[in-house]
């Protein structure tokens, strides 16, 4: 092998200048082909791999950007929904406070259940000649604001927060005395509802009146006599 390599310079020296140039080009071409096969192709493969990785990275970056935008929009929507819900709750609470204030104002003017019989007796003392026949309580009644309808198969009975306390008072006297009693009842500083009045002449001018009176409260207990 060494002997053959030593013959190459001698062979080249024997060639003409044109042949030497041709031989040099052939040698350079052979070296380039070998270098291209060993180096350039490897570099090209690495370059393609880098391009693929860069494309994957770009796709992932776009996906993350899209998710970031979507999450930001969801957060903004949730924040708006939360703010709107807080506003609705605040409005509902304000309306509830106003309603409670109105109810308190009404209840402050109504006679308490424990004072209803006392009020009726005091008004009776202010009417000369009018006599009390009887004074009887009725059971406390729940006030249901939303009763079950006939076409509803199932309905949950709402919890009652209001109660009606009623009593039946029977009085005897003449027409003017009974009229004065009802007038005093209407003009009383305490609020009191009355209904189901029954008037009967017993021995003219004497008559008997049966009157149902009631008040409303948030407490469930009997009226004290």
Domain borders along the chain are: 1-109, 113-146+159-217
Per the CB < 8 A criterion, the answer to whether 187 and 140 are in contact is: no
**Residue among 180, 155, 169 at smallest CA distance from 225:** 169
Tens digit of each residue's pLDDT (9 = 90 or more) over 152-182:
555 555 555 788 889 999 999 988 888 888 8
Following DSSP, what letter does each residue of 147-166 receive, concatenated? PPPTT-S--PPPPP--EEEE
CB count in 10 Å sphere of residue 160 = 14
Cα 170 from Cα 173, distance rounded (Å):
10
Cα 147 from Cα 157, distance rounded (Å):
7
- How would you class 157 by CB atoms within 10 Å of its CB: exposed for 0-12, middle for 13-18, buried for 19 or more? exposed
pLDDT score, position 4? 53
pLDDT score, position 170? 93
The residue length of the chain stands at 225
Residue carrying structure tokens 């776009």? 62
pLDDT band at 222 (very low <50, low <70, confident <90, very high): low
pLDDT score, position 203? 85
Per the CB < 8 A criterion, the answer to whether 198 and 168 are in contact is: no
Per the CB < 8 A criterion, the answer to whether 124 and 130 are in contact is: yes
Predicted structure pTM score? 0.52
Q: What class, spelled out in words, does domain 113-146+159-217 have in CATH?
A: alpha beta
Tens digit of each residue's pLDDT (9 = 90 or more) over 14-23:
666 777 667 6
Collapse the DSSP code of 91 into the 3-class scheme (helix H, G, I; strand E, B; otherwise coil) and give the result: helix
Residue carrying structure tokens 């049966």? 210
């Amino acid at each position: 092998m060494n002997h053959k390599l030593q013959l190459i310079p001698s062979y080249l020296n024997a060639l003409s200048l044109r042949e030497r140039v041709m031989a040099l080009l052939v040698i350079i071409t052979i070296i380039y082909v070998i270098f291209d096969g060993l180096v350039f192709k490897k570099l090209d493969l690495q370059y393609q791999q880098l391009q693929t990785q860069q494309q994957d990275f770009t796709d992932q970056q776009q996906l993350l950007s899209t998710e970031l935008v979507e999450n930001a929009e969801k957060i903004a929507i949730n924040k708006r929904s939360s703010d709107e819900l807080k506003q609705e709750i605040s409005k509902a609470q304000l309306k509830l406070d106003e309603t409670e204030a109105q109810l308190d104002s009404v209840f402050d003017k109504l006679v308490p259940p424990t004072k209803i019989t006392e009020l009726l007796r005091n008004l009776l003392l202010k009417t000369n000649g009018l006599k009390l026949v009887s004074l009887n309580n009725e059971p406390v009644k729940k006030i249901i604001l939303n009763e079950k309808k006939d076409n509803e198969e199932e309905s949950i009975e709402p919890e009652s927060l209001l109660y009606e306390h009623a009593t039946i008072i029977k009085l005897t006297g003449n027409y003017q005395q009974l009229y004065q009693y009802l007038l005093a009842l209407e003009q009383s500083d305490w609020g009191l509802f009355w209904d189901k009045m029954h008037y009967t002449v017993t021995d003219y001018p004497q008559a008997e009146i049966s009157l149902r009176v009631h008040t409303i409260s948030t407490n469930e207990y009997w009226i004290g006599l």
